Amino acid sequence: MKIQENIPLAPLTTLQVGGAARYFAAAASEDDVREAAQFAKTKHLPLFILGGGSNLVVADSGWPGLVLKIAIGGVTSQREEGTVTFDVGAGVDWDDFVAQSVAAGCAGAECLSGIPGSVGGTPVQNVGAYGQEVSDAIESVRALDLKQDRVVALPNKDCGFAYRTSIFNTTHCGRYIILRVSYRLKKDGAPSLKYADLKKHFSTWSTPPALSDVREAVRQIRRSKGMLIVPGDGDSRSAGSFFKNPVLSDTQFQDLRRRAEVRGLEIPSYPALAAQHKVSAAWLVEHSGFSKGYAVGPARISSKHALALVNSGQASAADMVRLKEQLQNKVQENWGIMLDPEPVFVGF
Ligand SMILES: Cc1cc2nc3c(=O)[nH]c(=O)nc-3n(C[C@H](O)[C@H](O)[C@H](O)COP(=O)(O)OP(=O)(O)OC[C@H]3O[C@@H](n4cnc5c(N)ncnc54)[C@H](O)[C@@H]3O)c2cc1C
């Protein structure tokens, strides 16, 4: 495996900001991953694992250690009674895998169509959209445990999945390098149509949509919101949603409602957990004086979605952070809520 030096990271991310990696390697096999981890350990270098680069803000100073790009491929499948279990290399493109599963007539990932990034990136923040989360489909995660220096198979229940979190980005952040992920999908299952936008899309259909129809609809809806990477669409030069939807306690929610009432507004909300309320971060941003397209220099809010922060072309990481902080401060000032960023900040 070739270890390169001073490799620019911006072109390897969807937001396209940030500096270079001091060392860089791409691992196409588990042996490569072990070799790279050993290299970093021996040289006392901080190690960063790179997937598809679609959820990252890389600092302008870059990464002082080794960036290891996971490029492990391969998809195998095993059919059981009513289900198919796919064992997928962490470096496989997520949307390519979704396309493959839909073509095989398997339900469970169709609403996650069009999400950029790698298979190995999906368990990290428990990727979700349009009423589905990968945690509903993940059977197990095969990973190199850097603490114990051995490969382990983590069953779903040990991954600590919740809204946009898992052990991989919280309690055990930096401990595991994900090598493969197993997804159990329903053979000939019906597509999931929980989300309002999707229901609306099919409201005039007289026959139930097939999995492939739902995949296409999700991609269309995502495209209209700049949430599909489309070459030439400047609005997709982003890291997706820049903030998580805040999940509030009852007391916090009542406080928010009071603040809204004073302004003659109603908070759009839906129950996330039994006694909690998930509030739209986009709504908070838009009701704090920001509109789509708002710009601070070369960093701006997408013209299609208030939650995506976009690099107009020449933005630095510092520009993106300046815009992020402006939005956070105003939302805090107006609504008493500190928005939590969704992307991972690398090298800050
Ligand atoms: C246009 C757009 C739309 C998006 N829409 C959605 C959406 O609808 N829902 C959603 O949940 N997300 C969405 N995202 C965010 C992003 O696509 C997902 O979080 C994706 O799963 C990130 O995967 P990645 O391979 O690109 O990871 P990266 O961005 O490369 O890395 C993200 C984190 O995962 C870690 N990581 C990656 N691979 C591995 C591995 N093999 N082992 C260990 N750690 C690893 C990295 O170290 C880092 O901490 C969107 C992003 C964009 C740009």
Alpha carbons 121 and 93: distance in angstroms, whole number: 10
DSSP 3-state assignment of 6? strand
Predicted confidence at residue 270, as pLDDT, reads 61
Write the secondary structure of 64-78 as one string of H (helix), E (strand) and C (coil): EEEEEEECCCCEEEE
DSSP 225-245: TT-S--TT-GGGSEEEESBPP
- Give the mean pLDDT per block of 10 residues along the chain (348 residues): 97 98 98 98 98 98 98 97 97 98 98 98 96 96 98 98 95 98 97 90 95 98 95 93 92 91 84 68 96 97 96 97 98 96 97
Predicted confidence at residue 162, as pLDDT, reads 93
Ligand 1 pocket residue status of 12, Cβ below 6 Å = no
241 among known catalytic residues = yes
Backbone φ, ψ for residue 63 (5° rounding): -120, 125
Predicted confidence at residue 268, as pLDDT, reads 79
Ligand 1 pocket residue status of 91, Cβ below 6 Å = no
For residue 249, give the nearest of 229, 276, 289 by alpha carbon.
276
300 among known catalytic residues = no
Could you tell me the domains of the chain?
Answer: 4-70 (3.30.43.10), 75-224 (3.30.465.10), 234-346 (3.90.78.10)
175 among known catalytic residues = no
For residue 138, give the nearest of 117, 149, 116, 153 by alpha carbon.
153
